[in-house]
Amino acid sequence: MNMPNNFLDPGVREPADPGTGDPFGTDLISRLANEFFASQPIRMPALPAIPATPPATLAGVPVHVPVTPATPSRAATGSSSQIDLSGGFPSTHSADAPPPVHPKGVGAEFEQSGAAPSQGGHIPGSSDSHEFGEPYFCSKSFAPASPHPEVGNSLDIPGSGPSGNESRFYFLKGIESVGGLDLPGSLEFPVANIVAPSGTFDVEGVRKDFPALHQHVNGKPLIWLDNAATTHKPQSVIDATSAFYGRDNSNIHRAAHTLSDRSTHLFESGREKVRQFLGAADAKEIIFVRGTTEAINLVAQSYGKPNIGPDDEIILSTLEHHANIVPWQILAGQTGAKIRVIPANDRGELLLEELPKLFNARTKMLAITQVSNALGTINPVEEIIVIAHGFGVPVLVDGAQSTPHIPVNVQAMDADFFTFSGHKVFGPTGIGALYGKSHLLEAMPPWQGGGHMIRDVTFGKTVYQNSPEKFEAGTPDIAGVVGLAAAIDYLFGIGLPAIAAYEHRLLEYAAAAMASLPGLRPIGTARHKASVLGFIISGIDNDRIAKHLDQNGIAVRAGHHCALPTLRHFGLESTVRPSLAFYNTYAEVDAMVQALRQIARR
């Protein structure tokens, strides 16, 4: 600890505090404290351990149910520690029947891995009258007119997968940690915070935290169903960002004064929060960027250029956002590399059996989205990574659409790179993060030059910092990092498993309700989905549908969603895309369905 010289010299004393006469005045004490903490490495406190209670039984499968942490989340109220398995929401698949099979056969239109996408205006192998739930989404016995499985009802978590011994919450299967927090090894899947002890998810309590949701648009209460584009922000994120500018605003890493210390601490604490959120091994594996798009460009240029050359190959999928296509096309144009594409079937599921055929000695990178922004398909990225690593090929996972909805652990996934955007996870715009394995990041050159990312500069040579600093040239979005950290805190407080479970029920409910609408055709009917309910209505322009919904206060997206290859697989140029978040309600779904029924009748 570096103490001030006058403190070490007994002959020199600080002026007495004018209020108390204390020779060790508050100014001196404050200054000493600041200097002490500035000299210490930043250590983030570990998340509280989750103790396990005696095991419960979930449809014949033993599951240890962790106790809700001492500080209850907004979704955690009540006193009972048991999950209510009575009654329940209909399962996507019956426990005694296998998943439905496409009548034409999965991917029958693909004669080879590079085959052209489906043509025409309907899903190949299906009728024009095909609706939600036939056979893809929900049990036919579910009636949208029945009472809502609304807030306060028990959250049914049956183990009703095809094998009879796995949870239908497929997105939780096999996860051993959430946001970097190790869970008890005896868990079949983590159910901490999936439900409150009473079995409820307090969506109304959650909604109170989001000020933007409490407004009227065109004379109607706002119903925000454009969450795949961006999410609204809880008050805690707004307050954290405002507090930074109001009190702590300073550049980071570059000054000895107190505000710089504060700002630096907040910034690096945010990096640690992201590490926890993604389950990374080290905060140095986290690089702050403007968002997923910039992160993918960074990898394409910094990793791709040194490692991918003429006639080398990059594998993408049919379901990619343009942000995970265009940067690789730019790289291919610069290096002479080629792009190969994993095909998809008529549901919008990747044909995984075709993937090994795409690899050869020239394959140098695979980039894949975890969740399709246009269809909601959850891709089996863990299996894809295993296949790619078997051929010695690194994998980048685009997590822009997965991180708001399902727990992520990059170590368990074994991703080489992983990206996400702050504004998709209820944080600020203009901030995001790239995860990369340490040995890859250290070998990669910077892709931008400027201040902070250097160790030494002469006119003859520049020596760069190590990762992550060498990738963060210039002044970063410090307030954005502060807001992102607050958003992660908020999500941790509720629990990603709780969010995933609630949204899954809401998605099933919405899909079943929309099945009753005449002329509505769903686009993307994968067995494993998150958030997105894309559709078209025969004979009605998509923009007209979106404008009609807007007149009713309902915000949805109409267009190609920056995923033209995905939509063209279905013979389309655009869809209407409602997309859900954990602050949406069954009543909001009902309002959307009622508004769609009005325009369909016209």
Kindly report the length of the chain. Answer: 602
Provide the pLDDT for residue 448: 87
Helices (H), 149-243: 203-207, 235-243
Provide the pLDDT for residue 235: 97
Residue 228 is encoded by which pair of tokens?
A: 């795949």
pLDDT confidence bin for 82, thresholds 50/70/90: very low
* Concatenated DSSP letters of 554-576: EE-EEE-TT-HHHHHTTT-S-EE
Provide the pLDDT for residue 384: 98
Helices (H), 212-361: 235-243, 258-278, 292-299, 305-307, 326-335
Does pLDDT of 272 surpass 90? yes
Q: Show the beta-strand stretches assigned E in 69-130.
A: none
Using a cut of 0.85, tell me whether the model's pTM lies above it: no
Nearest to 87 by CA among 199, 184, 226, 164: 199
Does pLDDT of 568 surpass 80? yes
CA distance 217 to 232: 15
Position 457, amino acid: V
Active-site residue list: 562
User: Per-residue pLDDT averaged across 177-182, rounded?
Assistant: 33
How confident is the model over 342-400, as pLDDT tens digits?
999 999 999 999 999 999 999 999 999 999 999 999 999 999 999 999 999 999 999 99
Provide the pLDDT for residue 18: 41
Residue 183 is encoded by which pair of tokens?
A: 């869970």
Dihedral-angle region of residue 82 (phi above 0 means left; psi in -120 to 50 means alpha; beta otherwise): beta
In which residue are the tokens 């999928």 written? 317
Query: Which of 52-61, 278-287, 481-490, 579-588 has the lowest average pLDDT?
Result: 52-61
Provide the pLDDT for residue 589: 97
State whether residue 151 is helix, strand or coil.
coil
Contact partners, residue 392, CB within 8 Å, separation at least 6: none
pLDDT confidence bin for 254, thresholds 50/70/90: confident
Residue 576 main-chain phi, psi, to 5 deg: -95, 135
Residue 120 is encoded by which pair of tokens?
A: 């025409």
pLDDT confidence bin for 199, thresholds 50/70/90: low
CA distance 558 to 576: 4
Domains of the chain and CATH, by start? 5-39 (no CATH), 238-492 (3.40.640.10)
How confident is the model over 509-547, as pLDDT tens digits?
999 999 989 999 999 999 999 999 999 999 999 999 999
Nearest to 404 by CA among 431, 370, 366: 370
Specify whether the CB–CB gap between 112 and 484 falls below 8 A.
no
CA distance 67 to 74: 15
Nearest to 532 by CA among 349, 403, 372: 372
Average pLDDT, the chain: 75
CA distance 578 to 426: 17
More confident residue, 304 or 129: 304
Provide the pLDDT for residue 447: 86
Specify whether the CB–CB gap between 204 and 511 falls below 8 A.
no
